[in-house]
Structures are given as structure tokens and as C-alpha cells.
A and B are shown apart, each in its own frame.
Chain A
Amino acid sequence: MKRLLIPGAVVALALAALPAVWWGRLPDPLASHWNAAGEPDGSLSKAAALALPLVIWIAGVLLSRKNPPIVAGLGFLVLALQGMTVWANLDRADWQDARHLPVWMPVLLVALPLLGGWLGLRFTTFRDVPSDPVETLDLPAGERAVWVARCTSPVLLAVGFLCLLGGAVSLLLGGSAGPLSPVLLLVGLLVVLLGTIRVQVSERGIAVAYGPWAFPVWRKGLTKITAARTEELRPSQVGGWGLRGLPGRATLMLRGGECLVLEYPNGGRFAISVDGAADGAALLNTLKAR
């Protein structure tokens, strides 16, 4: 949290300073929304329109404080939005006369947060979690050990199969929902793949097989993992169910509770909700030490 204090305050100050400097030259209410042609089509009271990015920023920092790339991307986004609002409304008597947005503006609003996210990913590490002493197993040399475990979310599986069923039915029957069927099928397939996983640890490293068909399989060699540990994680902490977060801070969340956390050499980590994660972590550490 501490390391976000200074960048968080700098962005907040900038968000407050932008309208404060030009307060007298802005109309009330302000144009706050533009249509696809770039013409202003919605307004908000001056105070609300200028306070909104600040509120979003504070809430975002608090919610994503463990995820520097998200915070960096959000910072770029709110600064761009505030700058755009002030620029478009500057020296206009009425919000309807606000400047039209050029076509490259939406592109900028997408590109800037992505740039911020990339910078956050590139220049920060995720070392806010205190590393516990590494747990190992008492495994005599020469003994081979493997760990197999799984995790299933009946709710995700049910939702996924319902989507697949709905997609298939609307594809066959056509009708008004016809155009939606590819989307339903795709969403259903993704949810089903994330509804059940099988995890395997052996001297070849770790393998995670997705879905009821155990395909696709994700693998990571022992040399590419620094250490393994366990952590109690809930869906509310990682942003919901399924594959959550950015690479380097991702979580495979099927249910709240004990997760197997892989730590990477660059400071990133991958958390996998799986039953009996402590044995898996201990075996990974033991095999790695060999």
C-alpha cells in the first residue's frame, strides 16, 4: 500500500489541479458524454463531472492496490478522461457548444491505459506478499513422488454446459437468438474449460489440464519456478471466478479457499485453487531442491 501512496497522491493532485486551474473558464453543466460522431450528447453538473474521475481513481487504487499494472492503467485512463473533459469544455459558454471529439480520441483512451498497464508490468514487482518459509517433504533420495489433484466448480460447469446447450439449440432452431449462438457456444466452452481442472506435479514440473476433456494442458518446468507456497484466496479478492488478473499476477479461481501459489523468478506469481495444495507446494519445493 505504501508504495502506491506517492503515485496515488500525484495522480489525485493532477486530477484536482486540472479543473481548478481553468475553473472560471468552464461552463456549468459540462459536456460529459459524446456520441459516436464525436458530438456532445450528455452533460453533468460541473462539480460532479470533475469529481467523478477522482472518485473512480481513489476507489480503483483501494480495490486494486495489490495489482500495480491495473492501477497504472487506471491512472492513465482517469488523467486522459479529465484532460479531455477540460479541453473540450474550455472557454465554451454552454455544454452543447463543447468541442467535438476527433476520431483518434477513443483510440487514445484505449491506448493510454494499455501503455500505463504495460509500464506498470514492466517497472514494478509484486513483492508485497511476505514469503513464508518454504515447506518441503521428507523424501529420501531415489524415491519418486508425484502429486495429483483436482478442483471442480459445479456452478461454473453447470453454467457453461447451459450456455453450450442454449447455443446449440439456437443454432439448430435459428430464430431471433440465432446470431447469438456462436457467442453462447464460445462463452459456454470457455466456462466449461474453467469449471474443472486437474493439477499434476512430478519431476517434470507442474501441469494444469483444463476442462472435462483435460485439454488444453498448461505446463511449467521446475527451473522456471522459484518456489511454491499456499495461500487462502477468495473470489472477491482476485476479481471473481475463472482465470483472473494479468500475467504475473494471475489466479485460476474455481472456489474460495486454499490455493497453490507458484512464484516466478521475476517476482510474479500464479495462484491455482486446488484441493490439498499444501502437499503439491511441498513436493514442488522438494523436487526443485534436488
Chain B
Amino acid sequence: MLLILEAEDPRPLHEQVAAALRRAIADGSAPERLPPARDLAAAFDVNPNTVLRALRELRDEGLLEFRRGRGIRVIPGADRRGEFIDRVRELVRDAEKAGHTRADLMTMIEEM
């Protein structure tokens, strides 16, 4: 699984790792069973807790499921979902840069 961290990303490290994982899930290069968190941490050269935080984030987004003793699995169909979550995140980021709050965005979507 190829994981890419964007250049000069101002976000906290765990969000960068989550973004890299989301990208790998979205383009389908992530295997059904993800490598253990400590392997990912060693590869990124970051603290395992940072990776765990990123993985929990993805679980809460409905992309991953944690199974006791059987590792972390990519939920079937998560690639499409991951793609949209990626785009929504980008939208939120751009909107915040332009001075719109999340609430503004939600009203915009609801009014569509």
C-alpha cells in the first residue's frame, strides 16, 4: 500500500496520516486488511499513537472497522465513500479559508 504525505501540509500529523490512508483507500491500493499500526508508524517515522488516532478517525468516518484479534479491515465500498469524504474535507478547508463556517456550508447544501 502506497501512502503519500502532502508537501508542507500545515495540518496536525495525525490528520496528515489519516489523509494519506484515506487516499490509499480511495484509489483502491489499500489491501482489505491494513498493516498493523506500529508498521505504519515505523514507515512514517511517527509515534504509533499518532497512527492510532488517524485510524480511529477513519473508523468514525465509516471507512474502517476494528476487529479484535483480526486487525483492521477496510469496509467494502469504502473506496467510493473515502473519495467523497476527501472532497468534502477539501471543500470545508477551502470554505474556512474563504471565511465561511461549517454551519454556512450546511445551509448552502440544504438550500440546494
Q: Interface residues, chain A, CB within 8 Å of chain B? A: 137, 139-150, 198, 200, 202, 204, 207, 209, 214, 275-276, 279, 283
20 A-B pairs besides A144-B4, A145-B4 with CB distance below 8 A are A137-B2, A142-B7, A143-B5, A145-B2, A146-B2, A146-B3, A147-B3, A148-B3, A148-B35, A150-B35, A200-B43, A202-B43, A202-B44, A202-B45, A204-B45, A209-B39, A276-B1, A276-B29, A276-B31, A279-B1
Contact between B7 and A214, CB atoms less than 8 A apart = no
- C-alpha spacing A214/B35, complex, angstroms: 12
- Distance from A218 Cβ to chain B, minimum over Cβ atoms (Å): 14
Contact between A198 and B35, CB atoms less than 8 A apart = yes
| Chain A positions within 8 Å of B1 at CB level | 147-149, 276, 279
A145-B2, A200-B43 are known contacts. Are A279 and B29 too (CB-CB below 8 A)?
Answer: yes
Contact between A148 and B45, CB atoms less than 8 A apart = no
| Number of B interface residues in the complex (CB < 8 A) | 17
Q: Is B78 an interface residue (CB 8 A)?
A: no
Q: Interface residues, chain B, CB within 8 Å of chain A? A: 1-8, 29, 31, 35, 39-40, 42-45
- Distance from A215 Cβ to chain B, minimum over Cβ atoms (Å): 12
Contact between A146 and B39, CB atoms less than 8 A apart = no
| Chain A positions within 8 Å of B4 at CB level | 139, 143-145
Contact between B5 and A200, CB atoms less than 8 A apart = no
- The chain B residue with its CB closest to the CB of A141 is B7
Nearest 10 pairs of A and B residues by beta carbon: A142-B7, A146-B43, A144-B5, A145-B4, A279-B2, A148-B35, A143-B7, A200-B43, A148-B43, A146-B3
- The chain A residue with its CB closest to the CB of B4 is A145
- C-alpha spacing A137/B44, complex, angstroms: 18
- Distance from B30 Cβ to chain A, minimum over Cβ atoms (Å): 10
- C-alpha spacing A40/B4, complex, angstroms: 68
| Chain A positions within 8 Å of B42 at CB level | 200, 207
- The chain B residue with its CB closest to the CB of A280 is B2
B8, B29, B35, B39: residue with the most chain A Cβ atoms closer than 10 Å: B39
Contact between B39 and A200, CB atoms less than 8 A apart = yes
